[in-house]
Amino acid sequence: MDLMDGILPGATIGILGGGQLGRMMALAARQMGYKIAVLEKEKNSPCGQIADYEVIGDYQDLEKAEELARISDVVTYEFENISLETAKVIERIGKLPQGSQLLGISQHRGREKRAIESLAIKVAPYHLINDLQDLQRAVSKLGLPAILKTCRGGYDGKGQWVLKGQGDFLKVVEELDFNQQYILEKMIPFTKELSIIVNRNSKGHVTSFPISENIHLNGILHITIAPARIDKVIEEQVKAIGITLARGLNLVGTLAVEMFLTEEGEIFVNELAPRPHNSGHYTIEGCEISQFAQHIRATTNLPLGSTKLLKPSVMINILGEDLENVLSSIAKLADAHLHLYGKEESKKGRKMGHITFLGDTVEEALTKAKGSGFIKA
Ligand code: ADP
Ligand code: MG
């Protein structure tokens, strides 16, 4: 099968990682007639439940990854912290059209920031930290408040410390382990957090989804409002940033770009995710094509679909602590689109599902969402 011609339905798509993003990719792919194979540590994962083949093993296990690649015509990942070596092996056998380069960039916050800056796009001022002296120097240069992050492996606000004053600094120092690298970023006083999801196939066709507005709670995405309530000038700038990154980083697949917008109208890119993103879940009902179907089209090198907004949308994440309440109020959710990920264990802060409300206007969608009682902030 030649990747450049497009991999047609009937073929098998292998997914590294069995979480909700893999599950929603798989649902979109199955609808189109693809078969699904998944590599995940345990059987019956959110993606495993709906896959045709489950390979059970660690994503870092090269042999297991090769087994996944053997039974698949093309492989994608749902999670950027798979080992780079695994990605390179699958790339070498010609089954990872997304490649390993962008994955490598997005696995390290310092590398990611340099790649963004190299395309003349702004990021928050930052310093890389290897030891206590670096940290002291960075704090005196950037000033406080600032935010310290591990360079690798962070998600949902994990591996981050907000430094507001000297007291925080002293507390944080005790928790650090200088066997790993950190990054200190200036705290950006944003008025809104925005994100854009862009896709590109191997033929170079690029699309972008309507920009969304994101509200986080305790470092975890709480709600997404789409389209973002921003003026036309900002909208064009955000779109240009997304497309510049897609082309400049040779994207194949999906790239989600998280950004801060300030009072003065400055835009700083916060981070990149080389995969479908939580802030794009609204596209399942809100847009002509979902981010998951577009991801499948981009990685199989089919023509990309229209990302046009069908209806303004508000998405609310359902965490472990919300699940019971959602289930007991299901009667009130008739007018909402409920998605649960089939996770066996419900834990505090763990993403168990999401709900999307549609409206004829953003205000209408927001009113419905607020009426559900699941908006916390
Ligand atoms: P994660 O990988 O956990 O998503 P992020 O870098 O996106 O890490 O940080 C999580 C959240 O913390 C952001 O969405 C934002 O609300 C806040 N945050 C992170 N960095 C900054 C910053 N430099 N200035 C202001 N807020 C920040
Ligand atoms: Mg983030």
Q: What is the CATH number of the domain that holds 366?
A: 3.30.470.20
Averaged pLDDT, 150-177: 91
In percent, how much of the chain has pLDDT > 70? 99
Same structural domain, 74 and 130: no
Amino acid at 5: D
Last residue of a domain, one of 186, 210, 237: 186
Domain that holds residue 11: 3-96
Is ligand 1 within 6 A of the CB of residue 258?
yes
Is ligand 1 within 6 A of the CB of residue 220?
no
Which CATH number is 82's domain given? 3.40.50.20
Q: Is residue 321 part of a domain?
A: yes
Q: Which atom of ligand 1 lies closest to the CA of 154? A: 2
Is ligand 1 within 6 A of the CB of residue 192?
no
Please check if 155 is assigned to a binding site.
yes
| Number of separate domains in the chain | 3
Same structural domain, 341 and 292: yes
Count of C-beta atoms within a 10 Å radius of residue 167: 9
C-alpha of residue 62 to centroid of ligand 2, in Å: 28
Same structural domain, 166 and 287: no
Please check if 179 is assigned to a binding site.
no
Is ligand 1 within 6 A of the CB of residue 112?
no
Averaged pLDDT, 25-37: 98
φ, ψ for residue 267 (rounded to 5)?
A: -120, 125
Which CATH number is 175's domain given? 3.30.1490.20
**Predicted model pTM:** 0.97
Is residue 264 helix, strand or coil?
A: coil
Please check if 271 is assigned to a binding site.
yes
For residue 36, list its beta bridge partners: 13
Does the pLDDT of residue 59 top 90, yes or no?
no
Residues in contact with 174: Cβ distance below 8 Å, sequence separation at least 6, in sequence order: none
Q: What confidence score (pLDDT) does residue 60 get? A: 85
Q: Is residue 101 part of a domain?
A: no
Q: Is residue 319 part of a domain?
A: yes
Does the pLDDT of residue 332 top 90, yes or no?
no
Same structural domain, 35 and 132: no
- Model confidence over 178-190: pLDDT tens digits? 999 999 999 999 9
Same structural domain, 235 and 343: yes
- Model confidence over 219-241: pLDDT tens digits? 999 999 999 999 999 999 999 99
d(CA 75, CA 100): 12
Please check if 187 is assigned to a binding site.
yes
Is ligand 1 within 6 A of the CB of residue 26?
no
Residues in contact with 91: Cβ distance below 8 Å, sequence separation at least 6, in sequence order: 99, 100
Ligand 1 pocket: which of 270, 278, 351 to mutate (most atoms <8 Å of CB)? 270
C-beta separation of 224 from 278 below 8 A:
yes
Burial status of residue 123 (CB atoms within 10 A of its CB: 0-12, 13-18, 19 or more):
buried
Same structural domain, 212 and 354: yes
- Model confidence over 84-143: pLDDT tens digits? 999 999 999 999 999 999 999 999 999 999 999 999 999 999 999 999 999 999 999 999
φ, ψ for residue 345 (rounded to 5)?
A: -110, 125
Does the pLDDT of residue 2 top 60, yes or no?
no
Q: Is residue 103 part of a domain?
A: no
Does the pLDDT of residue 148 top 70, yes or no?
yes
Please tell me what DSSP assigns to residue 319.
Answer: E
Q: Is residue 109 part of a domain?
A: no
- Model confidence over 272-290: pLDDT tens digits? 999 999 999 999 999 999 9
Q: Is residue 376 part of a domain?
A: no
d(CA 208, CA 220): 24
Is ligand 1 within 6 A of the CB of residue 154?
yes
Is ligand 1 within 6 A of the CB of residue 124?
yes
Q: Which atom of ligand 1 lies closest to the CA of 189? A: 25
Last residue of a domain, one of 143, 164, 186: 186
Q: Which atom of ligand 1 lies closest to the CA of 185? A: 23
Averaged pLDDT, 66-75: 98
Maximum Cα interatomic distance, the chain, rounded to a whole number of Å: 60
**Ligand 1, atom 5, residue with closest C-alpha:** 157
Same structural domain, 182 and 276: no
Same structural domain, 228 and 314: yes
Burial status of residue 26 (CB atoms within 10 A of its CB: 0-12, 13-18, 19 or more):
buried
Q: Which atom of ligand 1 lies closest to the CA of 268? A: 23
User: End-to-end alpha-carbon separation of the chain, Å?
Assistant: 50
Q: Is residue 362 part of a domain?
A: yes
Q: Is residue 196 part of a domain?
A: yes
Q: What confidence score (pLDDT) does residue 3 get? A: 61
Helix axes 132-142, 166-175, angle to 10 degrees: 150
Last residue of a domain, one of 56, 75, 96: 96
Please tell me what DSSP assigns to residue 250.
Answer: T
For residue 161, list its beta bridge partners: 148
Please check if 359 is assigned to a binding site.
no
Is ligand 1 within 6 A of the CB of residue 145?
no
Say which residue the tokens 């089919």 belong to: 302
Instruction: Report CA-CA distances (Å) from 277 to 20, 21, 24, 79.
Output: 10, 8, 11, 10
Burial status of residue 225 (CB atoms within 10 A of its CB: 0-12, 13-18, 19 or more):
buried
Q: How long a stretch of residues is the chain?
A: 377
Average pLDDT along the chain: 96
Same structural domain, 73 and 140: no
Q: What confidence score (pLDDT) does residue 322 get? A: 97
Same structural domain, 254 and 268: yes
Q: What confidence score (pLDDT) does residue 276 get? A: 98
Same structural domain, 222 and 169: no
Is ligand 1 within 6 A of the CB of residue 156?
yes
**Ligand 1, atom 22, residue with closest C-alpha:** 187
Same structural domain, 334 and 223: yes
Pair of tokens at residue 358: 């549609």
Please check if 186 is assigned to a binding site.
yes
Please tell me what DSSP assigns to residue 154.
Answer: -
